[in-house]
Chain A
Amino acid sequence: METNYNNDLFVRWLNDDLSPEELREFERSPKFSLYQKIARNSGELDTPEFNEDNVLNKIKAQISTQQAPTKVKKLFPRFIFSAAASVIVLIGFFFFLNRSTSYTTTYGEQLAITLPDNSQVILNANSTLSYKTSNWAANRVLKLKGEGYFNVEKGSDFKVETNLGDVTVLGTQFNVNAKAATFEIKCFEGKVKVVTNKHERILTKGKAFRQLNDSTPEDFNTSHSEPSWTNGESAFNNSPLSQVIVALEHQYNINIDASKIDLTKKITGSFTHYNLQVALQTVFVPLRITPKQIDTKTIVLLKQ
């Protein structure tokens, strides 16, 4: 214990940490002369000569030889990465803004679609409808190929674009038929504005507009409250035979060869969507035309 205490004092003595009392006590310890001797003699030890300037020169020499650290030239400057990133962001943004939703029906199929503003669209067979989802409320524009029945909620302008002309809604319910060469609009409620390359019409309830190919447009009335095709049959009001044949083809996915008959005949009537044979009979028998089935896909019309 005694030695430990002295040892502690010795340690602190060498660091000049002793208080005057402790110092006096330490000096009284029996081995003080040994401690003193160790301290003095070890303090007199010398370290080897250190040639300061020589080493400094060596350091300087080494530093100068390794001077000019090789500059690392970047393979791709940093700005290229940021440029690439912004391009990607821009493209992404562009796609995001132009995202469009698209619906397609095939032969004999119908599709009921609810648009973001709760407007209803019923798409008839073999038709395509697409619209941009972003900012729909302010920009109600649809692209239509084929035939569709629109029940439009109140709001901003509602526009249906087709290859043959545009229909702008002023009211609520209307039918657009833009198949191949046929452009037929029926307004069932409210007001619709129809714009084609050459003509412009405002249709009110019960009015209809039809243009076939480039012939003179036709205005007529419709007595239905909604298009008949939404109820499983296609109705025609003084329509040319060609339009009825196109409708049949779309509905049943068939080819009708009508090269041997007069296509300008007008028809008023309807055909069912559920039975091809019945439909063919109802359309052609009154016209004294015999539909002859060649195979499952092809039908030739012959005069009786």
Chain B
Amino acid sequence: MEKVKSVCEENVFNQVYKTHAKALYNFMYYKCGDVSKAEDFVQESYIKLWNNCSKVVFEKAKSYLFTCANNLFLNHVAHQKIVLRHQKAGAKHHTNENPEFLLEEKEFMVKLQNTITELPEDQRTIFLLNRIDKKKYREIAEIQGISMKTVEKKMSLALRYLEKKLDTIHKV
């Protein structure tokens, strides 16, 4: 029989950290676009988890962390204007493409980044969680504490906006 994992045990806590820290960091980053703030939120959430380790069962640790971070975000920077700076992945897929295509591609990327930045915070977070962290809508709903219908609705709005904005440049 498997022993019930307690978050109060250090190795379990480390395991929880390894599993969720990056995702939590990204989540926070998508929300506020501020590297150091995102890091602070991650830090604070884990400290809260540790302080309440006896009350949070292992299985609930993840949702506890995300709820915590979300609340911290809402408390601190709820209505701040923010700028996202996304970096292009290092991997080069198109080394064989011609320069014109590469330029076009680069242009598109810049436009995409800017458009994502223009999205409202909630739509942007959902979109990026799906695209970058490859999370399913169900999981996003769980993390955000909202219904899956809402996630789909917001995703739909985000995609419509992106489509409208990027379609013109695509045609040009």
Within 8 Å by CB of B113, from A15, A34, A45, lies A45
Chain A: minimal CB distance from B146 (Å): 15
Are A55 and B156 touching (Cβ within 8 A)?
no
Chain B: minimal CB distance from A147 (Å): 75
Are B167 and A50 touching (Cβ within 8 A)?
no
Q: Knowing A15-B137, A55-B39, A59-B43 are in contact, say whether A46-B21 is a contact too (CB < 8 A).
A: no
Are A55 and B21 touching (Cβ within 8 A)?
yes
Q: Which residues of B contact A42 (CB under 8 A)?
A: 112, 116, 127-128, 131-132
Query: Number of A residues whose C-beta is below 8 Å from B?
Result: 32
Q: Knowing A7-B159, A39-B131 are in contact, say whether A45-B89 is a contact too (CB < 8 A).
A: yes
A50 and B155 CA atoms in complex are apart in Å by: 26
Q: Which residues of B contact A59 (CB under 8 A)?
A: 17, 43, 46-47, 50
Are B22 and A8 touching (Cβ within 8 A)?
no
Are A46 and B88 touching (Cβ within 8 A)?
yes
Are B47 and A34 touching (Cβ within 8 A)?
no
Q: Knowing A15-B130, A45-B113, A48-B35 are in contact, say whether A56-B17 is a contact too (CB < 8 A).
A: yes
Q: B80-128: which residues lie under 8 A (CB-CB) from chain A?
A: 85-91, 105, 108-109, 112-113, 116, 127-128
Within 8 Å by CB of A50, from B25, B86, B160, lies B25
Residue of A nearest to B112 (CB): A41
Q: Which residues of A contact B51 (CB under 8 A)?
A: 66
Are B132 and A11 touching (Cβ within 8 A)?
no
Within 8 Å by CB of B26, from A34, A43, A47, A52, lies A47
A42 and B159 CA atoms in complex are apart in Å by: 11
B166 within 8 A of A: yes
A154 within 8 A of B: no
A37 within 8 A of B: yes
Are A43 and B132 touching (Cβ within 8 A)?
yes
Within 8 Å by CB of B128, from A12, A45, A63, lies A45
Are A44 and B130 touching (Cβ within 8 A)?
no
Interface residues of chain A, those whose CB is within 8 Å of chain B, are 3, 7-8, 10-12, 14-16, 31, 34-35, 37-39, 41-48, 50, 52, 55-56, 58-59, 62-63, 66
